[in-house]
Chains A and B, each alone.
Chain A
């Protein structure tokens, strides 16, 4: 168990991952332990032979071919990047189209909803001031007899209504009318107060 710990220290030593203190400890142990000495020797040999196994090298023509393919890929990749940089221009074109579309839609909707279907006489009256509209109305009445008749009839009706209301009020005493109104007001407002006046005092 103790040697297992030193065996790991031997592995760390070969990788240059051992502190000076640990190295001294290991050396002390190796001086007395033949098993660990053999292990150290075997691992050192494996390390030495493994270092000699460098792995395959690029042959000159392989290296040239590798670099040629790499450069072509980089340039292709760079071209792709260039293309992606153009994307904002496309995105800029899209809002322009969108803005045009919105403007067109607004114009169409305005034509649909704001189109005034009233007779031209009324449209004219809406556009004029009170004095102008009165003038315009009198012109219309003068020009069109049916309009004049209906206007006069409306006028007579409104005068009749006024006379009837006055006649109804004439029979009653004004004092009675005021009392009735006050009683109605008291019933509607003052009696519904949450805090009667007494409590406030």
Chain B
């Protein structure tokens, strides 16, 4: 498929684009915090990838390559729009009734988990950019440290260190919610 796309086959590239548009959109959303901006970045990423695919060496992974383009474009976008207020849309999903009810056994636990997720989403958005990007690539995009390092332009050990620091920051911010969640779960276990 990549070879066909490299030969200029638009349909072949559309197949690749439909496979990667969602993860790229999610990464851009995690980094910009805005759905519209993320859509624009995702579209620009695909266009850039289409223009540059002839230069893509099959030695590296297409997945990592596309994410690197997306990351660089997001970085440029954020530099250009530094003064602009980034909208926080991360809580939209919680209005969806289906997601509210998923996998929770009791109303009390459901409410506490919801609160934890709400604050976790907020805490992730508040992480410094370098830590947020590492966290997004590893946790949300499922990349290994070395893959994330290739996207971010640093080593795998740097990603490992950023992940450790990001988790410490998240734990610190979520301490009250983690404790209440633990208490509820302990009580649930007793019952």
A is bound by B: yes
B113 within 8 A of A: yes
Give A33-54 as 1s and 0s: 1 = Cβ < 8 Å from B's Cβ atoms.
Answer: 0000001011101110111111
**Which residues on the A side are within 8 Å of B46 (C-beta)?**
70
Number of interface residues of A (CB under 8 A): 38
B63 within 8 A of A: no
Least CB distance, B159 to chain A, in whole angstroms: 9
B26 within 8 A of A: yes
A17 within 8 A of B: yes
In the bound complex, CA of A108 to CA of B92 (Å): 79
In the bound complex, CA of A12 to CA of B116 (Å): 23
**Which residues on the A side are within 8 Å of B139 (C-beta)?**
47, 50-51
B138 (CB) vs chain A CBs: closest residue? A15
Q: Assess A77 versus B51: contact at CB under 8 Å? Given A17-B160, A49-B116.
A: yes
**Which residues on the A side are within 8 Å of B140 (C-beta)?**
50, 53-55
Interface of A is mostly: helix
**Which residues on the A side are within 8 Å of B3 (C-beta)?**
none
**Which residues on the A side are within 8 Å of B38 (C-beta)?**
56
Within 8 A of A (CB), among B146-191: 156, 160-161, 163-164, 167-168, 170-171, 174, 178, 181-182
B13 within 8 A of A: yes
A94 within 8 A of B: no
**Which residues on the B side are within 8 Å of A74 (C-beta)?**
10, 13-14, 47, 50
Known: A8-B164, A53-B121. 11 other contacts (CB 8 A): A7-B168, A11-B167, A15-B138, A17-B160, A45-B116, A50-B139, A53-B124, A66-B21, A66-B43, A70-B14, A73-B50
Interface set of B (CB-CB < 8 Å, partner A): 8, 10, 13-14, 17-18, 21-22, 25-26, 29-30, 35, 38-39, 42-43, 46-47, 50-51, 89, 92-93, 113, 116-117, 120-121, 124, 135, 138-140, 144-145, 156, 160-161, 163-164, 167-168, 170-171, 174, 178, 181-182
Interface set of A (CB-CB < 8 Å, partner B): 7-8, 11-12, 14-17, 39, 41-43, 45-47, 49-58, 62-63, 66-67, 69-71, 73-75, 77-78, 81
